[in-house]
Structure 1
Amino acid sequence: MPLVSLEDVLSAQKVLAGVVRKTPLEECRPLSGLVGGPAFLKCENLQYAGSFKPRGAYLRLVRLTPAERANGVVAASAGNHAQGVALAARLVGTHATVFMPVGASLPKVAATRGYGATVELVGNDLSEAMAAAVAFSEARNAVYIHPFDHPDVVAGQGTVGLEILEQCPDVGTVVVAAGGGGLVAGVATVLAAERPSARLVAVQAAGAAAVPLSLAAGHPVSLADLRTMADGIAVGRPGDLPLAHIQAQVDEVRTVSEEQISRALLFCLERAKMVVEPAGAAALAAVLADPTAFEPPVVVVLSGGNIDPLLLLRVIEHGMASAGRYLDLTVRFEDRPGMLAGLLGVLARERANVLDIAHVRHDAALRMGDVEVSLTVETDGPDHSHRAKSALRAAGYSVE
């Protein structure tokens, strides 16, 4: 299978000039401190439609013949590719029909419709939506726009790599999230030709890690089950063309847990002041989990920022819990006046903020005359939590 070439990506860059943004490369000082050298965030979350996807989608659509455009195009996506295709279709003057899983993010569905596409909600996951899109394509003679397994799509995504080298010519390591592999394949094309000394690390969610299995097997392998909140990289099978690029040009593939993704999202909000979706934070999660493993200057691609506000709320809470910022306590003590006030006073002196409290007197497990109080406390981290528990014990409270 012929790989996409640097010339293909350079040609794509000319076509995309004035159509997509050259997204900023922002230095992230907190991350630089962790990796021991310059570290930057490539902010594709600030791209039109909120992710890198319009790059490949527009290139694919603009190269269709007038007859192909007349019949419209069809795509399948959990959200970002949907918006990329919908936007590209509007720009080139054709109509897009997009199949999305029934559980797709409502803001992503609304945004896709907002760009003028017809959205069909079909199936429980992306594979079922893709099957429906292919069937629609065959029935209506509409061109199916694959989210990652096409040379034009890979070449379009590769323009991210060209921008990285323009903005950070001496880059040592580039870290990119991978679902089907279109973005990492495009970036790999550029680095292999223009900066072969730089390491390229692909990152997958541990609950949707088809690439490591596919590399071990020597061909794309399909996963039977996907379990990750990172819907943008929840792909059960990598593309044939992207996998060929990964085999030839990617130095390492890492996986990250849901907890690590949550912490990365929290880091983006608190330290980098960036709103990023779970898939967009996966690459950062890998660096935060093992910062000294990445040779600086490090460039981390934030691939998308389309996050449902309700998911963002849950992720913030989960990320804070994973980072040790929430402390759950159960305290038993004698039920007499002043004991609860004393408990809260200890926490106040330790500057631990009580978020929730439950006061139980009637429980068969309690001794006569005792009370049990369950609290959720906000702290600065594990050390602060340890100090708060120690202070309670020193004050005579039984803490679990």
Structure 2
Amino acid sequence: METRLDTARIRAARAVIDPVFLDTPFYECEALPFDSRVSIKLETANPVRSFKGRGTELVVDGLEGNAAVCASAGNLGQALAWSGRKRGLDITVVASRFATPAKLDRIRALGATLELVDGDHELARDRAAEIARTTGIRLVEDSLDLETCEGAATIGLELLASGVAFDTVLIALGGGAMATGIGHVLKDLAPSVEVICVQPAGAPAMTLSWHERRVVTTESTNTIADGVAGRRPIPEVLTDLLHVADDAVLVEESSIISGVRLLATHASLVAEPSAALGLAALLENPTRFANRHVVTILCGSNTNPPDHHRWLQPEPMVV
């Protein structure tokens, strides 16, 4: 595979990652109302309620020094705080003050120092890099740092170890750690499986970049899927993604909300908007996936309760 990732290292990573993040539930969810078979890989049943702990466990295991800083929309920050607290490390997380309040509260509760910026995630990235430069501590860059990608890649190993045959995997696309990680494993070990990345139309930078085969940045984002709302793709990550993704698609906000609602009403699962991107793609193009066995990764469940309650309300009838 012509990516930065290495399958042997990914296999070895399982021995480093805390077992609480491994071997997550994987099952066919027959109650979901699709013509295709839909299976869910549930990455929310862990202390940080997202897949990010797989990567941060690798980061802190190899950390030189006793401190690290990252920028986060919320989930990476929680995971790094959790992994760092377990090892007695000093963790600083930089986030937008407009990030989901529940995510920010949890970062604080996990003992990290939280710094808020008056801007979006890209401004938080810039501030985290500045802190690292001035203090000399480790800057953890999601998706650029191989640990974050290869940690996420262990999800792919578990999908294949299940022995269940499937045709397509729908993966939420933001910075690219999960998409490149799982994509690498599948293309290396099960190349016939179709890897499709899904991103909100309101935050399309990485998808546009994949289609144009060059980095495309955007001026702003406008999506409820805050976990994937980046504007500046990382060139090295795009290069990896071009090797492992078969397609990258954009979905509308209404479809994302419908996906969150479907997971709650038909599967009793709480999903943050980023985790519902796979179902949004199924809703928008059902014929593409008809009669196929589709896997989607439920990658996070850190929602703001008032927002989640609003998304679950029935759609108004059109008269």
TM-score (structure 1 length as normaliser): 0.76
Contact 2:152 2:182 in 1 (8 A): yes
C-alpha displacement of 1:272:
1.1
Alignment partner of 1:226 is 2:221: yes
Moved more, 182-191 or 42-51: 42-51
Counterpart residue type for residue 53 of structure 1: K
Counterpart residue type for residue 104 of structure 2: V
Alignment partner of 1:312 is 2:313: no
Trace 1:48-197 onto structure 2 (pairs within 5 A): 48-65=47-64, 68-69=65-66, 72-197=67-192
Contact 1:202 1:250 in 2 (8 A): yes
Per-residue Cα deviation, 1:118-142 (whole angstroms, up to 9, x for no partner):
1111132000111111111111111
Q: Which protein has the bigger helix share?
A: 1
Counterpart residue type for residue 140 of structure 2: I
Counterpart residue type for residue 310 of structure 2: R
CA distance in 2, matches of 1:46, 1:238: 29
* CA separation of 1:168 and 1:41: change in aligned 2, threshold 3 A: farther
Per-residue Cα deviation, 1:371-392 (whole angstroms, up to 9, x for no partner):
xxxxxxxxxxxxxx7xxx6xxx
C-alpha displacement of 1:17:
5.0
Alignment partner of 1:205 is 2:200: yes
Contact 2:210 2:248 in 1 (8 A): no
* CA separation of 1:244 and 1:30: change in aligned 2, threshold 3 A: same
Give identity over the alignment, percent.
31
Contact 2:3 2:243 in 1 (8 A): no
CA distance in 2, matches of 1:160, 1:2: 17
| Equivalent position SS for 1:48 | coil
C-alpha displacement of 1:171:
1.7
Partner of 1:303: 299
Per-residue Cα deviation, 1:52-109 (whole angstroms, up to 9, x for no partner):
01111110121112xx22xx10011111111011111112321101011011111111
Partner of 2:28: 27
TM-score (structure 2 length as normaliser): 0.94
Partner of 2:287: 292
* CA separation of 1:171 and 1:241: change in aligned 2, threshold 3 A: farther
Per-residue Cα deviation, 1:283-320 (whole angstroms, up to 9, x for no partner):
12111222231363211111100000011122223xx3
Moved more, 21-30 or 289-298: 289-298
Counterpart residue type for residue 301 of structure 2: G
| Equivalent position SS for 1:46 | coil
Partner of 2:7: 6
CA distance in 2, matches of 1:144, 1:309: 31
CA distance in 2, matches of 1:239, 1:23: 29
Per-residue Cα deviation, 1:348-394 (whole angstroms, up to 9, x for no partner):
xxxxxxxxxxxxxxxxxxxxxxxxxxxxxxxxxxxxx7xxx6xxxxx
Contact 2:170 2:295 in 1 (8 A): yes
How large is the Cα RMSD of the aligned pairs? 1.7
Q: Which ranges of structure 1 fall in alignment gaps of 5 or more residues?
A: 328-384, 390-400
CA distance in 1, matches of 2:161, 2:130: 42
Counterpart residue type for residue 251 of structure 1: D
Per-residue Cα deviation, 1:249-295 (whole angstroms, up to 9, x for no partner):
11111111000001001101100110000111111211122223136
Per-residue Cα deviation, 1:137-157 (whole angstroms, up to 9, x for no partner):
111111011122111111011
Alignment partner of 1:45 is 2:41: no
Bigger Rg, structure 1 or 2: 1
